[in-house]
Structure 1
Amino acid sequence: MTWDLWFSALLLLFIGITLLHAVVLPRPKRDARTKGEPLVSILIPMRNELANVEGLIGSLQKQTYSKFEVIVLDDESTDGTREALEASTEHDSRFTIKPGAPKLDGWVGKVYACHQLSGYASGDYLLYVDADVRIEPNAVQDVLAFMQHNNLALVSGFSRFLLPTWLNKLLVPMQHFIVLFHLPMGLARFTKWPPATAAHGGFMFFERGAYEAIGGHESVKGEIVEDMALSKRMKAHGHKMWLANITAFASCTMYETNEDVWKGFSKNIFNGIGKSVPLAAVIMVFYASFYVLPFFLLVGAVVVADPSLLIPYALISIQGLIVYATTKEPLYLAFALPASALALIALLANAMIRSMQGQKVEWKGRFYG
Structure 2
Amino acid sequence: MTNDNALMVESTISLLLLLIQVPATAILFSRLLKGPRRLAPIEPQQPTLELLGKVSVVVPTLNEALRISPLLAGLSQQSYEVREIIVVDSKSSDGTPDLVKATQQKDPRFRVMTDDPLPSGWVGRPWALHNGFLFSSEGSQWFLGLDADIQPHPGLVAGLVKTAEAQGYDLVSLSPQFILKYPGECWLQPALLMTLLYRFDPAGINTEQPERVMANGQCFLCRRSVLAAVGGYSSASGSFCDDVTLARNIAVQGYKVGFLDGAKVLKVRMYEGAMETWKEWGRSLDLKDATSRSQLWGDLWLLTSVQGLPLLIVLTFLLISPPHSYSLQTGLIASLPTPPLLLLGLNLFLVVIRFAMLIAIAPSYDRKSAKGGWLFWLSPLADPLAVLRIFLSAFRKPREWRGRKYSGEL
Q: Is TM > 0.5 for Structure 1 vs Structure 2? A: yes
2:170 & 2:291 partners in 1: Cα distance?
29
Q: Is structure 2 residue 210 aligned with structure 1 residue 194?
A: yes
Query: How much identity, in percent, do the aligned residues show?
Result: 20
The AA in structure 2 aligned to 1:337 is: P
Residue identity matched to 1:136: H
Which of 391, 399, 403 is the matching residue for 1:364?
403
Range moving further from structure 2, 301-310 or 148-157: 301-310
Change (3 A) 1:177 1:67: same
In the TM superposition, what is the alpha-carbon distance from 1:111 to its structure 2 partner? Answer: 0.9
CA separation of 1:362 and 1:127: change in aligned 2, threshold 3 A: closer
Name the residue aligned to 2:32.
18
Deviations 1:227-255 (A, max 9, x none): 11211122222211111111111111111
Match of 2:386 among 336, 344, 358: 344
8 Å CA contact 1:29, 1:142 repeated in 2: yes
How do 1:208-227 and structure 2 match up within 5 A?
A: 208-227=224-243
2:172 pairs with 1:158: no
| Among candidates 20, 31, 43, match of residue 45 of structure 2 | 31
Give, in angstroms, the shift of residue 132 of structure 1.
0.6
- Distance 1:198-1:212 versus aligned 2 partners, 3 A rule: same
8 Å CA contact 1:273, 1:279 repeated in 2: no
Shift of 1:300: 4.8
Which position in structure 1 is the counterpart of 2:98?
83
**Aligned AA for 2:93?**
T
Shift of residue 83 of structure 1?
1.8
Aligned match of 1:228: 244
Deviation at 1:124, TM superposition (A): 1.8
Alignment match, 1:306: 332
May I ask how many residue pairs the two structures share in their alignment? 362
Instruction: Name structure 1 gaps, 5 residues minimum.
Output: none
The offset of 1:281, in angstroms, is 5.8
| Distance of aligned partners of 1:22 and 1:247 in 2 relative to their CA distance in 1, 3 Å threshold | farther
Structure-2 change in CA distance of 1:347 and 1:360 (3 Å): same
1:50-89 aligned within 5 A: 50-89=65-104
Which of 355, 358, 362 is residue 320 of structure 1 equivalent to?
358
Task: Find out whether 1:46 has 2:61 as its counterpart.
Answer: yes
Tell me the C-alpha RMSD between the 2 structures: 3.5
Any idea what the Cα deviations from partners look like across 1:200-257, whole Å, max 9, x if unmatched?
1111101111111111112321222211121112222221111111111111111123
Q: Cα–Cα, structure 1 residues 312 and 102, in superposed 2: closer, same or farther, change >3 Å?
A: closer
- Select the residue among 119, 123, 146 that pairs with 1:108: 123
Q: Does residue 161 of structure 2 align to residue 149 of structure 1?
A: no
Q: Which runs of 5+ in 2 are unaligned?
A: 1-13, 321-325, 334-343, 368-373
Task: Give the letter aligned to residue 48 of structure 1.
Answer: N
The alpha-carbon deviation at position 364 of structure 1 amounts to 1.6
Answer yes or no: is the 8 Å Cα contact 1:56–1:131 preserved in 2: yes
Summarize the Cα distance change of 1:108–1:67 in structure 2 as closer, same or farther, 3 Å threshold.
closer
The yes-or-no answer on 1:239 pairing with 2:255 is yes
Determine helix, strand or coil for the equivalent of 1:50: coil
8 Å contact 1:15–1:315 — kept in the other structure?
no
* Residue 126 of structure 1, CA deviation: 0.8
For 1:329 and 1:181, the matched residues in 2 are separated by: 22
Q: Distance in 2 between matches of 1:144 and 1:54?
A: 24
Q: Are the counterparts in 2 of residues 291 and 338 from structure 1 also a CA contact under 8 Å?
A: no
1:276/1:12 Cα in 2 relative to 1: closer, same or farther (>3 Å)?
A: closer
SS of alignment partner, residue 281 of structure 2: helix
Structure number with greater Rg is: 2
Change (3 A) 1:10 1:225: closer
